[in-house]
């Protein structure tokens, strides 16, 4: 298994990168070519769709940055970790989630399934 700390840091950096070319590079380094992401609000498969999905999420949540909020649990080709965003003047609403990952043979993420642990109530 590749260095799981590095892959998770790169994953969070991809979600936080606002410059399209840099974000696209991080997506390619993070996910396999056919990599996927799915949660209750969004999904993407392949680098183009994943990059577009992240850009759309950034548009919906300007000022938000994902930060690691737990240790990284790893076994076999699986990872689990939690992240948090918000709770700042620029991004006042607090959001927290947990992501489950399956790594591909090259150490990049093949599949990510995200769950929201805490978010503002929908009105």
| Residue 86 Rama label (left phi>0; alpha psi -120 to 50; beta) | left
Mean pLDDT computed over 5-14: 97
pLDDT of res. 122? 64
Question: Is residue 36's pLDDT more than 60?
Answer: yes
Under the banding of pLDDT at 50, 70 and 90, the label for residue 1 is very low
Instruction: Return the residue matching tokens 């840099």.
Output: 22
Comparing CA positions, the residue from 34, 35, 32, 27 lying closest to residue 10 is 27
Q: What is the pTM of this model?
A: 0.93
Position 93 scores a pLDDT of 85
Q: Is 60 exposed, middle or buried (0-12, 13-18, 19+ CB in 10 A)?
A: exposed
- Give the DSSP H/E element, type plus range, for residue 51: helix 47-60
- Asked if residues 36 and 49 have their Cβ atoms less than 8 Å apart, the reply is no
């Amino acid at each position: 298994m590749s260095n799981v700390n590095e892959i998770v840091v790169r994953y969070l950096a991809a979600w936080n990168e606002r410059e399209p070319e840099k974000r696209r590079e991080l997506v390619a380094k993070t996910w396999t070519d056919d990599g996927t992401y799915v949660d209750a609000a969004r999904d993407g498969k392949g680098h183009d769709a994943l990059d577009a999905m992240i850009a759309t999420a950034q548009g919906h949540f300007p000022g938000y940055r994902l930060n690691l909020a737990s240790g990284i649990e790893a076994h076999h080709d699986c990872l689990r970790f939690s992240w948090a965003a918000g709770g700042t003047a620029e991004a006042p609403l607090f959001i927290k989630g947990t992501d489950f990952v399956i790594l591909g043979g090259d150490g990049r993420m093949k599949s990510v399934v995200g769950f929201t642990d805490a978010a503002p109530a929908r009105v």
